[in-house]
Amino acid sequence: MKRLPSGGMNLEACLEAIRSDADRMALCAESGDLDATVAGCPGWDLRKLLVHTGFIHRWATFAVVNKTPAGQGDVVEPRPDATGDELGAWMRAGAGALADALAATPPDADTWHPFPLEQKAWVWSRRQAMETMVHRWDAEVAVTGASDLEGKAAATGLAEFFEMLLPRTLIREGNPAPSASLHVHCTDDDLAHGAGEWIVWGENGEYRMEAIHRKGDAALRGSAEALLLAVMGRSGGGDALDGVDLVGDPAAVTAWLDLPGL
C-alpha cells in the first residue's frame, strides 16, 4: 500500500475515491435536471459542474502522463447539448483514465502541477480525489438536496486546504496573510490525539501554518465534514457556520474565510 507523503489518505484510497465519486456524479447527470442550480458554485448549473469536473480530470491526466501542462485543444469538452446519459458516460471515462494514469505512476515521480508544493505525482492523486469529492457533494445537493463527506477523507481535504489551497490563493491574489491566528479543530472521535488540528496566522504578511493544537485568536470546532464544507464555502459565513462552533474573535474567522479568491 503506497502511503502519500502528506494528507492522510493512501494512494489506493485516493484512486478509489476518484472513481466512486465520479460515478456518483455520473448518476446525478443521468437522473437529475442538468439546469439545476449548484449552490456551492455561484452562477453554475449541474451541466457546467459536470463539464468542469470532467475537464479537470482530463487536464490532470495530461499533466500526469506528459509532465507538462495541457495546451489549447489537448482536452476536449463534450457537446454543449450532451444528454445526461452522455455526460454520465463521459464522467466515468475521464475519471477512469485519470485513476489508471495515477496508478501507473509512482507517487514520487516527477510531474508538473500549478500548486505550491513539490512537483511530484502524489500531489495530483490527493488533489483530484478532493476535487472530485467536493464536486460530488455539490452535484448531489443540486439533485437531491443532500449529500455527505466521510470524516477521514474530509480531514485529508482540510490538510490539503491549509497546506496547499490556502497559500495558493494568497499567492494568486497577491494578498498578505491575515495577522490574526485561527485554530481549526476536528472533533471526530477517530481524529483524536492531535490529528485533525491546524493553526494559521500571518507574520509580516507571510502565511504560516502548523498542524498542531495551539490556541489562536479564534477557533473553529466541529466534525471534519462540517469544517471542510465551511472552509470551502459550502456553509454559512461568520458566526452562522453550519455545524461548527466558533470560539474567540469572529473577525479573525472572517479575515481567513472571506479572503479574495476562496
Shortest CA distance to 94 belongs to which of 134, 123, 66, 52?
A: 52
Task: Answer whether CATH 1.20.120 is correct for domain 11-148.
Answer: yes
Q: Is 204 left (phi over 0), alpha (psi -120 to 50) or beta?
A: left
State yes or no: pLDDT of 192 exceeds 60: no
Please state, rounded to an integer, the average pLDDT across all residues of the chain: 94
CATH of domain 152-257: 3.30.1050.10
The model's pTM is 0.94
Residues of the chain with CATH 1.20.120: 11-148
Per residue in 135-148, pLDDT (tens digit) is 999 999 999 999 99
C-alpha cell at 159: 490538510
Q: Name every residue whose Cβ is closer than 8 Å to that of residue 26 and which is 6 or more positions away in sequence.
A: 87, 88, 89, 91, 92
Instruction: Identify the band that residue 242 occupies on the pLDDT scale cut at 50, 70 and 90.
Output: confident
**Residue 193 pLDDT exceeds 80:** no
Alpha-helix residue ranges (DSSP H) falling in 70-165: 84-103, 121-144, 151-160
Please report the pLDDT score of residue 1 as a whole number.
47
Examine the pLDDT at 163 and tell me if it is beyond 50.
Answer: yes
Residue limits of CATH 3.30.1050.10 in the chain: 152-257
Residue 215 CB-density burial (10 A; 0-12 exposed, 13-18 middle, 19+ buried): exposed
> How far apart are alpha carbons 210 and 195 in whole angstroms?
12
Nearest-angstrom CA–CA distance, 162 and 80:
36
